Each structure stands twice: as structure tokens, then as C-alpha cells.
């Protein structure tokens, strides 16, 4: 039985240790994390898990071999294709022509596409590992296969765009107001990395968000997110388990950190949040396909 998708009535205590604030050992762990997943940033859920260091270290180390396997990567690609197919039901309005009309060059448009591709890949490649955390903390298990096939190739997109995020404290008034609207509309206590990176082009992000906003809280949006939630948890339960990570081991690590209930609440919050984020990024991507 897979965990239920429930929107939290209260936002749990979330205290990410941002990459620029990490100390030497944690900074090294973040670098290993990015290498494992072939991504240029650490997802906010993992930054929040890092407050629970025994749990974080065991979770990261135990899932690294799986995360670098062909079985894992192929699962991720199938999940990504599923949500990108589903989001076409929204008929995202093409954005390229509108951006050209206000002065965007082909190079700038390509940089936005590349940034979206970084997140289209990077979100999904982290997703099964994030959902495995909740699944195991709630007594679930991974699959029974003890071996994996290493994925020797590069699965990350071949892009060259600078990876820059506009943090809330960098933003001027209009952009802060936009961030506030995103957080209020989506029910978030922070602004996701995806939105901070795309806000490097303020006029683009304002336009893209204005197109997405009417869909973001609709039953149709929730249906896609709910289906994605179920698909991810079903996939997690079937993944191999080469290091033999068990619910008991992860719970023991969480106990050492002193707040297992708070950690479980974190995993429940992020497994609610992430499917909607996947839908939103797929929407942004589809705007450039039209």
C-alpha cells in the first residue's frame, strides 16, 4: 500500500542548510550528492534533510549506488515522460513569439530552454530517492533485487548556460512580489530553486507564471500531480536495493537526530509538494514546444 497524498494542514518546520552555508563536511556531502545525480544544485528537500545529519548521511550513502544505476535512471525517464505527456492537456500557450516581440534574442531563448531542461532532468533524477525516504520511514521497503546495473553514461543534459539563482534577498520589489504570489498560490513557505533560476529573466518568468497561475490550483492540475505521486511511490517499491537499506535502519538514524516525527512530517510535506512542481516545470517546458 503506497503512502497517501495529503496536503499538510500545517507547514512543518523547514530549515534547509543552504549550500552556501554548509560547513566543510556537509559541503563535501553536497558535492557527492550533485555528482551522484549529475546535477548542479541540491534539492531543497535534501537541504532540509541535512538538518537531520545521521539520517541524511545514511540516506545519501545507502541510495547512491541505486541512484547511479540503469534501473533507477530508466524509471526516472519513464516518470518524466508521463508528466510531460499529461501536461499537454493544459494546452500551454506558446511563449517564444511573445518573448521575441519584447526583445528576447535567440541566444537568450536558448538559455531559458537550457535552464528548464536542467530542472526537467534534475528534479526527476532526485525524485525516487526523495520519495524513498518517506516510504521507508513509514515502514515500507524497496524491491528485493540485490544487484543493479551501473549507468555508465552521462544522463544529464549537455548544456552550457550559467546556473544562477535570484535569491529573495537579491530581488527588487516587483520580483519579491512575484515570489510572494508564487508562494501564496502554491502554498509554499519558500521559493523553489526552479523559480529562482528562471527569475534570472524577470520579464520571461512573469509571463510564464501568468500563463501557469490559472491552472496551478485546479482539480485538473491536482489530478496530474496525484497520479504522479502514485506512479512515483509504485516505482520506488519496485526499485532494487543493492545496499540492503531497511526501514529499521533509517528509523534508527532518525532517532539519533532526536526528532523522527519532525523528519517524517518533512518527508510528507515534500512528497506533497514535489509532484506539483514537476507539473509546473513540465508546463514551462511545453510553452517552448508550441
DSSP secondary structure of the chain: -PPP----SSPPP-----GGG--HHHHHHHHHHHHHHT-SS--HHHHHHTTSHHHHHHHHHHHHHHHTBHHHHHHHHHHHHHHHHHGGGG-PPP-HHHHHHTT--HHHHHHHHHHHHHHHHHHHHHHHHHHHHHHHHTT----S-----B--S--S-----------TTT--HHHHHHHHHHHHHHT-SS--HHHHHHTTSHHHHHHHHHHHGGGTTSHHHHHHHHHHHHHHHHHHHHS--TT---HHHHHHHHHHTT-HHHHHHHHHHHHHHHHHHHHHHHHHHHHTT-
Please report whether residue 218 resides in a domain. yes
Looking at the structure of the chain, the number of domains it has is: 1
Query: Measuring CA to CA, which residue among 190, 200, 260, 199 is closest to residue 43?
Result: 190
Please report whether residue 12 resides in a domain. no
Please report whether residue 1 resides in a domain. no
Give the pTM: 0.94
Please report whether residue 278 resides in a domain. yes
Going residue by residue through the chain, which has 290 residues, state the pLDDT in tens, using 9 for 90 and above.
Answer: 889 998 888 889 999 999 989 999 999 999 999 999 999 999 999 999 999 999 999 999 999 999 999 999 999 999 999 999 999 999 999 999 999 999 999 999 999 999 999 999 999 999 999 999 999 999 999 998 999 999 999 999 999 888 888 787 887 888 899 999 999 999 888 888 999 999 999 999 999 999 999 999 999 999 999 999 999 999 999 999 999 999 999 999 999 999 999 999 999 999 999 999 999 999 999 999 96
Please report whether residue 154 resides in a domain. no
Please report whether residue 241 resides in a domain. yes
d(CA 248, CA 244): 11
**Segment 105-111 long-range contacts (CB within 8 Å, at least 24 positions apart):** 108/201, 109/288, 110/161, 111/161
**What nine digits make up the cell of 154?**
552521462
Torsion angle of C-alpha atoms 268, 72, 253, 146, degrees rounded to 10: 130
pLDDT at 165: 84
Q: Answer for the pair 47, 14: CB distance below 8 angstroms, yes or no.
A: no
Please report whether residue 6 resides in a domain. no
Please report whether residue 54 resides in a domain. yes
Domain that holds residue 142: 19-149+159-287
pLDDT at 50: 97
Amino acid at each position: 500500500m503506497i503512502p497517501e497524498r495529503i496536503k499538510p494542514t500545517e507547514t512543518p518546520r523547514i530549515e534547509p542548510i543552504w549550500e552556501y552555508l554548509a560547513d566543510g563536511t556537509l559541503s563535501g556531502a553536497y558535492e557527492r550528492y550533485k555528482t551522484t545525480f549529475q546535477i548542479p544544485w541540491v534539492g531543497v528537500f535534501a537541504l532540509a534533510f541535512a538538518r537531520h545529519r545521521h539520517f541524511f548521511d545514511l540516506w545519501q550513502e545507502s541510495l547512491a549506488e541505486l541512484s547511479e544505476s540503469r534501473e533507477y535512471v530508466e524509471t526516472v525517464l519513464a516518470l518524466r515522460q508521463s508528466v510531460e505527456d499529461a501536461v499537454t492537456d493544459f494546452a500551454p500557450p506558446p511563449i517564444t513569439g511573445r518573448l521575441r516581440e519584447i526583445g528576447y534574442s535567440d541566444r537568450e531563448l536558448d538559455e531559458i530552454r537550457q535552464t528548464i531542461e536542467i530542472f526537467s532532468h534534475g528534479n526527476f533524477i532526485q525524485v525516487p530517492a526523495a520519495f524513498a525516504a518517506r516510504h521507508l520511514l513509514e515502514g515500507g521497503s524497496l524491491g528485493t533485487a540485490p544487484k543493479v546495473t551501473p549507468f555508465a553514461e552521462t544522463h544529464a543534459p549537455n548544456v552550457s548556460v550559467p546556473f544562477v539563482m535570484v535569491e529573495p534577498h537579491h530581488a527588487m520589489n516587483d520580483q519579491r512580489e512575484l515570489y510572494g504570489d508564487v508562494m501564496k498560490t502554491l502554498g509554499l513557505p519558500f521559493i523553489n530553486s526552479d523559480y529562482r533560476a528562471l527569475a534570472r529573466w524577470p520579464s520571461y518568468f512573469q509571463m510564464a507564471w501568468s500563463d501557469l497561475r490559472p491552472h496551478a490550483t485546479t482539480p485538473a492540475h491536482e489530478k496530474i500531480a496525484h497520479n504522479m505521486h502514485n506512479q512515483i511511490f509504485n516505482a520506488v517499491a519496485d526499485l532494487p536495493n543493492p545496499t540492503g537499506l531497511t526501514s529499521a535502519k533509517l528509523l534508527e538514524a532518525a532517532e539519533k537526530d532526536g526528532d523522527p516525527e519532525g523528519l517524517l512530517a518533512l518527508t510528507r510535506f515534500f512528497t506533497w509538494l514535489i509532484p506539483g512542481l514537476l507539473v509546473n516545470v513540465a508546463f514551462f517546458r511545453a510553452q517552448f514546444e508550441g
